[in-house]
């Protein structure tokens, strides 16, 4: 079966090559492709014969990164089931909503979340079977490893699976509004893998994955493409900068992907100076513009160059790439479209714009998702009659077809009739050497409609006050763009994927304003 059974094919070609290292276990557990394939076969046999899971049925997992996550993903692929990765940062009532929307027959969970699972089980009857990864589990739950050992490793697959069948649901970031389940087809996985190999990966590559596997960054940026290609993926439970630096050195990682906040945290780690990153061919950054001082620091202190890019749950996620040699010359750009991706900038009437004009970024190509799960209205609104997916990102393209994200449509705010783009301001704030992390939002103002508010984390070895930061911003920005309010904080709220949660900051600011009335 050429669709779905990725491990079966890889185990045929390179059964003894190291596939996965679960660095969240003590000691670390390593698996060859043959061993990983046997585990997936055992779980697939249980799902089909023990839990009655058929093609199109959902299997949910609420767990930190670990080999069990990949067991579930690859087992579902073999039988045509759909894996549903649940965000462990959500409140249990939010998880109940997602369970009710997706109706999984099986829920796999780690011990850390068994209290939430107990509450979920009391609120909904959607789940028929529970499997716990560690600990005792709740009543009626089966132990994951015992389930595998009791099952058989006989190859199992569904030869009716086609490239248009759905492999998993990846929920949109959820940093604003209710997350939607992007339906990830086997066709999307194949084309994203091809795009990723063309632009990034080589045989023998090794990566440390710090994105959560319920996120497109964790499952689809490097993990799945690299396992299809035959490389090695080192998994960590959650991002910890000291541990990541150790693992990059210990396993001689050749590529690594993160977001700007994770790279900022790595440079502040206690073992940054001693870390040997000489095996890294490059690092990849996405999610937000990468500050030039950070690019320069990695190159100067570690000899590591950056690729930058852009992706999203609904497309790719490998959509754009900026080569290392352009990381400073084209700072702020997401690069050019990947090989099998079409992109353009359009106006409010969906007409293409010329280079240098700001409009909405739209995408077209075979690595687009198959709509949103059970949300026909949202699906129809996202794709126009000509097949262009509307990203909701404001962007521009230059004469050389380098694209730059100006901001999210929803993040832009209007102050005194002027459009303000927080990303532009954040890019300037990050130029200050004392700034470790920042975010800018628009908040209500009686006079101007909205004004900017900046949240700033200062590096531990530096000092910075409001007047100094304002002077710095006025040096680079028009006066009306400089935030009227600045709040220094010891830390900012960060999502599991490492992105700053602006929705949380906005909610806190609104609550603070209400208390002052």
pLDDT for residue 173: 61
Q: Residue 157: what pLDDT?
A: 84
Question: Quick check: helix, strand or coil at residue 445?
Answer: strand
String of DSSP letters for 44-63:
HHIIIIIS---TT-EEEEE-
Boundary residue ending a domain (204, 238, 272):
238
Residue 106 lies in a domain: yes
Contact partners, residue 429, CB within 8 Å, separation at least 6? 435, 438, 440, 454, 456, 469, 472, 473
Q: Specify whether the CB–CB gap between 102 and 81 falls below 8 A.
A: no
Which residues, 6 or more positions from 157, have their beta carbon under 8 angstroms from its beta carbon? 1, 4, 5, 8, 44, 78, 79
The end-to-end CA distance of the chain, in Å, is: 64
Q: Comparing 67-71, 374-378, 413-417, 473-477, which segment has the lowest mean pLDDT?
A: 413-417
The answer to whether 207 touches 231, Cβ cutoff 8 Å, is yes
Percent of the chain scored above 90 by pLDDT? Answer: 76
Owning domain of residue 502:
411-516
Average pLDDT over residues 364-386: 95
Per-residue pLDDT band for 264 (boundaries 50, 70, 90) equals: confident
Averaged pLDDT score across all residues of the chain:
92
Q: What mean pLDDT is predicted for residues 343-358?
A: 95
Cβ atoms of 116 and 62 within 8 Å: the answer is yes
Residue 14 falls inside a structural domain: yes
pLDDT given at position 499: 79
pLDDT value of position 454: 96
In a domain, 349, yes or no: no
For 93-129, the pLDDT digits (tens) are 889 999 999 999 999 999 999 999 999 999 999 999 9
Per-residue confidence (pLDDT) for residue 174, from 0 to 100: 46
Residue 471 located in a structural domain: yes
In a domain, 313, yes or no: no
pLDDT for 94 equals 85
Q: Give the pLDDT confidence score for residue 202 in this predicted structure.
A: 94
Tell me the C-alpha to C-alpha distance, in Å, between residue 22 and each of 63, 233, 334, 431.
14, 9, 31, 37
Confidence of residue 415 (pLDDT cuts 50, 70, 90): confident
The reply to whether 394 falls in a domain is no
Q: Which sign does the torsion angle of CA 52, 55, 60, 61 carry?
A: positive
What is the CATH number for 480?
3.30.300.30
**How many structural domains are present in the chain?**
2
Torsional sign, CA 365, 367, 373, 378: negative
**Cα separation of 144 and 140, whole Å?**
13
Q: Are 113 and 66 in contact (CB under 8 A)?
A: no
Looking at residue 312, what DSSP letter applies?
Answer: E
Place of tokens 């710095």: 472
Which is more confidently placed, 91 or 349?
A: 349
* Separation CA 34–CA 47 (nearest Å): 20
**Chain centroid to CA 7:** 23
- pLDDT tens by residue, 421-456: 888 899 899 989 999 999 999 998 877 888 999 999
Per-residue CA distances from 466 to 27, 51, 128, 473 (Å): 47, 60, 56, 11
pLDDT at position 515 is: 55
pLDDT at 282: 95
In CATH, what number is assigned to the domain containing residue 122? 3.40.50.12780
Rounded CA separation 84/180 (Å): 12
**With 0-12 CB in 10 A as exposed, 13-18 as middle and 19+ as buried, what is 123?**
middle
Q: What percent of the chain has pLDDT over 70?
A: 97
Say how far apart CA 499 and CA 262 lie, in whole Å: 9
CA dist., res. 491 & res. 499, Å (int): 13
Is residue 106 within 8 Å of 142, Cβ to Cβ? no
Picking from 310, 240, 308, 247, the residue whose alpha carbon sits closest to that of residue 280 is 247
How far apart are alpha carbons 94 and 115 in whole angstroms? 14
Of 238, 267, 296, the domain-final residue? 238
On the question of pLDDT at 309 being above 70, the answer is yes
Whether 405 is covered by a domain: the verdict is no
Cβ neighbour number for residue 9 with a 10 Å cutoff: 16
Question: What does the CA dihedral 140, 143, 144, 147 come to, rounded to 10 degrees?
Answer: -90
pLDDT on residue 516: 58
Q: Is residue 171 part of a domain?
A: yes
pLDDT tops 70 at residue 356: yes
Structure tokens at 313: 């749950």
* Cα–Cα distance, 78 to 147 (Å, whole number): 17
pLDDT digit string, tens, across residues 166-205: 999 999 864 445 689 999 999 999 999 999 999 889 999 9
Domain stops at, among 191, 216, 238 = 238
Distance CA 262, CA 240 (A): 9
To which residue do tokens 């304003």 refer?
A: 513
Judge whether 486 and 469 are in contact, CB under 8 Å. Answer: yes
């Amino acid at each position: 079966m050429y669709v779905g059974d990725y491990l079966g094919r890889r185990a045929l070609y390179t059964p003894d090559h190291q596939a996965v290292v679960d660095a969240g276990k003590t000691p670390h557990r390593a698996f060859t492709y043959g061993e990983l394939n046997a585990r997936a076969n055992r779980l697939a046999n249980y799902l089909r014969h023990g839990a009655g899971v058929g093609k199109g049925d959902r299997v949910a997992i609420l767990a930190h990164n670990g080999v069990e996550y990949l067991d579930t993903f690859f087992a579902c692929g073999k039988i045509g089931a759909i894996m549903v990765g649940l965000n462990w940062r959500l409140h249990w009532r939010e998880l109940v909503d997602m369970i009710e929307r997706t109706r999984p027959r099986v829920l796999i969970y780690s011990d850390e979340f068994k209290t939430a699972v107990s509450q979920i089980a009391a609120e909904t009857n959607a789940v028929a079977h529970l499997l716990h990864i560690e600990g005792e589990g709740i009543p009626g739950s089966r132990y994951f490893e015992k389930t595998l050992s009791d099952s058989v490793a006989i190859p199992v697959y569904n030869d009716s699976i086609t490239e248009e069948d759905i492999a998993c649901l990846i929920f949109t970031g959820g940093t604003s509004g209710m997350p939607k389940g992007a339906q990830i087809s086997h066709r999307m996985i194949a084309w994203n893998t091809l795009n990723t190999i063309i632009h990034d990966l080589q045989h023998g590559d090794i990566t440390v994955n710090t994105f959560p596997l319920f996120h497109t960054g964790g499952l689809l940026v490097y993990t799945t493409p690299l396992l299809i290609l035959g490389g090695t993926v080192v998994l960590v439970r959650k991002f910890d900068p000291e541990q990541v630096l150790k693992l990059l050195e210990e396993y001689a990682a050749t590529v690594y992907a993160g977001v700007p906040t994770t790279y900022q945290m790595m440079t502040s780690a206690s073992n940054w100076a001693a870390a040997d990153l000489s095996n890294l061919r490059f690092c990849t950054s996405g999610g937000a513009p990468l500050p030039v001082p950070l690019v320069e620091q990695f190159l100067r202190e570690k000899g590591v160059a950056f690729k930058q890019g852009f992706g999203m749950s609904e497309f790719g996620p490998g959509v754009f790439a900026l080569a290392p040699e352009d990381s400073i010359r084209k700072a702020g750009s997401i690069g050019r479209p990947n090989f099998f991706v079409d992109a353009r900038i359009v106006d409010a009437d969906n007409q293409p714009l010329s280079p240098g004009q700001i409009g909405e970024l739209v995408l077209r190509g075979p690595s687009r998702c198959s709509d949103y799960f059970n949300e026909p209205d949202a699906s129809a609104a996202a794709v126009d009659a000509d097949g262009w997916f509307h990203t909701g990102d404001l962007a521009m393209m230059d004469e050389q077809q380098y694209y730059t994200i100006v901001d999210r449509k929803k993040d832009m705010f209007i102050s005194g009739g002027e459009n303000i783009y927080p990303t532009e301001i954040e890019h300037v704030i990050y130029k200050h050497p004392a700034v470790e992390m920042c975010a800018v939002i628009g908040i209500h103002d009686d006079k101007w409609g909205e004004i900017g508010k900046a949240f700033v984390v200062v590096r531990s070895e530096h000092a910075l006050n409001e007047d100094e930061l304002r002077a710095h911003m006025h040096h680079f920005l028009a006066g009306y763009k400089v935030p009227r309010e600045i709040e220094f904080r010891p830390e900012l709220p960060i999502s599991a994927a490492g992105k700053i949660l602006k929705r949380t900051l906005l909610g806190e600011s609104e609550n603070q304003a209400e208390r002052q009335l």
